[in-house]
Chains A and B, each alone.
Chain A
């Protein structure tokens, strides 16, 4: 993470003081580096797990490694990964968004319906409509959470219900089929861009953008500050002068907009959309974020880690199918992974805390 290094110790009158200070600084930064490494280790650990799954599955069933199968795997992950990026921003502020699955369903249908009825309009207009619908739903969530002071769990549980109901009302029992959709839209969903499937390009761009913004920009760091300043909705961050309500609302808007984008991607990839589209996605998205190291208590985790979490979960899903392991194990394994991930996080945090305490004690006795 981008923690600034400690300023150099002021030069003391004697020769001894600066030496101790320098040593101390070296120790402190060693501790920092250790923590830094732990955080990076999360992403590294996920990559190791991913490599293991791919290699083991590939050895047992070489079909898994052919280009087409890998492409299908990554395509399946793309939609979840895009939504996970938005969810990460929301969870980092110590909130949660359970409504993303319903937003996906609503926007996927409206987008598909619009393109079906207006085949002459270029398809990006449909995508924009989906994103705008998602952003509007996200704005509703954000305003209720910040201005209405209603806990995010309650708000998004409510909008999850209500928006699914709206999706059912809008669809009115209809279903959109692939043959109704303009070909250009479907080609965009299954086609390539510079040799890479378009949906994957979109996912990579979204992940890179929000990873970068959350990691290196003040806007992103403020989200972390809000999430780590206590139960009371970022009180410390507020007192420090952050516009925490506005940041939280923006995080919800982004999460909604990305769920809307996920809806457009869903319509383009599958071609078949009804009112139940995206049901249960909220738990898959939250699960991916949690496996990817985003702490549900807010204040820590990265968009990149969360995206890797989505890739790991998606790959396991495909690997199980390829290995012909009973489909039924899939959900149990996902659940187990979520629990192991958060338990590991906790143990590592405890250990590094103990280690740092030990070091600071040693430093004190040395001084």
Chain B
């Protein structure tokens, strides 16, 4: 593009402070969350059209409990992505926690001892990620691609390819059960409590403001006195602990511990975070948006699974398109607005690069495949 505007996606989704009643309405309508909400309504309409089972309590129970782990992983990821970093290793920590749980149970430890050990193991995984990123200054993308393989490998080392299924029914019943006679699964109630805590921390505390400050401009955050490295280290540790918790829940819910559980979960969790309006470059986003994105993705999955005629693989395609569209849409809207603004001032918009004069590139031009 021949404009000199930064390539970072326009942070168009952040709510602007409304000035009057009229613009407040406009602001609400223009908000990212409103758009997701509309999409959710659409999905639920289509879903109930596909099958009468879609809007039943039973479907809500199974649909939401199947999404528990994605949802829980998405919470700490939201904070990490809001600081402009990423953690791809969460699903491997989840598997490590599950494998450790199975191993320790086989060794005859009581559940009351196993659960804290798994959470500590998750914290240590997060500590390793965080130390490599903040202590050595390595890019989090590369570090967590490495630990993604490392932690998954350790999960296999601990438990091999066996699986442990003999967990005490007291725990598995809780994980499988619903909350106090409602249709809401216990695990989802736990998730909602966690989500509330995360929302308060992110949106109502200095720690949360520090997270956005780091994501918006790391250097400026440091110069204004924030302990950037310490905050990021804590976030990675938090991510490890929460991922371990998700591993415990998944193990209990399926009453199966194995090293291969949760493969690829990190991608769905990241998709939910990005779709929820958190900029992958950091600095913007809300827990509420991520929550809505989770509902949307869960709804789509459930709806498509209910129709026997629709191949379940459409879920992949729809997720992929939504993920790209969630960033592409606002970018294009911003560009259209910009072009209109420039037009109204009487100057022509800058011409896109592709229609520019023939390539003036030097020597090696002929070697390109495109």
Contact = CB atoms under 8 A, between A and B. Distances in A.
Given A243-B353, A283-B149, A331 B156 contact: yes
Contacts of B311: 168-169, 172
B86 interface: yes
Interface string B156-176: 110011000000000000000
Interface stretch (A24-32, A33-41, A334-342): A334-342
Interface residues of A, number: 71
A172 B313 CA distance: 10
A218 B136 contact: no
Interface in B349-370: 352-354, 359, 361-365, 367-370
A333 B132 contact: no
Interface stretch (A11-19, A76-84, A115-123, A146-154): A146-154
B369 A165 contact: no
A270 interface: no
A218 B141 contact: no
Contact of B267 (A146, A161, A213, A253): A161
Given A219-B365, A342-B142, A246 B156 contact: no
B320 A335 contact: no
Interface string A338-354: 11001100110000000
A338 B142 contact: yes
Nearest to A216: B364
24 contacts: A150-B328, A161-B267, A161-B271, A165-B318, A166-B317, A217-B363, A232-B6, A235-B6, A245-B1, A246-B353, A254-B368, A283-B145, A283-B149, A287-B145, A296-B141, A326-B157, A326-B160, A327-B156, A331-B152, A335-B147, A338-B142, A338-B146, A339-B146, A343-B132
A13 to B, nearest CB: 38
B70 interface: no
Contacts of B136: 343, 346-347
B150 interface: yes
Interface residues of B, number: 66
A218 B362 contact: yes
Contact of B369 (A217, A254, A347): A254
B331 A149 contact: yes
B313 A165 contact: yes
B37 interface: no
B281 interface: yes
A166 to B, nearest CB: 6
B149 A158 contact: no
B145 A151 contact: no
A163 B323 CA distance: 13
Contact of A165 (B151, B315, B322): B315
Interface centre among B319, B324, B359 (most CB of A within 10 A): B324
A217 B367 contact: yes
A81 to B, nearest CB: 18
Contacts, number: 209
A250 B149 contact: no
Contacts of A335: 146-153
Interface centre among B138, B316, B321 (most CB of A within 10 A): B316
A243 B361 contact: yes
B290 interface: no
Interface centre among A220, A249, A327, A343 (most CB of B within 10 A): A343
Given A254-B368, A335-B150, 19 more contacts: A135-B369, A147-B354, A150-B324, A153-B86, A153-B141, A154-B274, A157-B270, A162-B324, A169-B313, A218-B362, A245-B353, A246-B359, A253-B369, A257-B369, A283-B145, A296-B139, A328-B157, A328-B160, A338-B145
Contacts of B327: 148, 150-151, 154
Contact of A149 (B9, B151, B369): B9
B321 A162 contact: yes
Given A151-B281, A158-B324, A328-B156, A219 B317 contact: no
A164 interface: yes
A163 B354 CA distance: 26
A250 B368 contact: yes
B86 A250 contact: no
A165 B153 contact: no
A206 B142 CA distance: 25
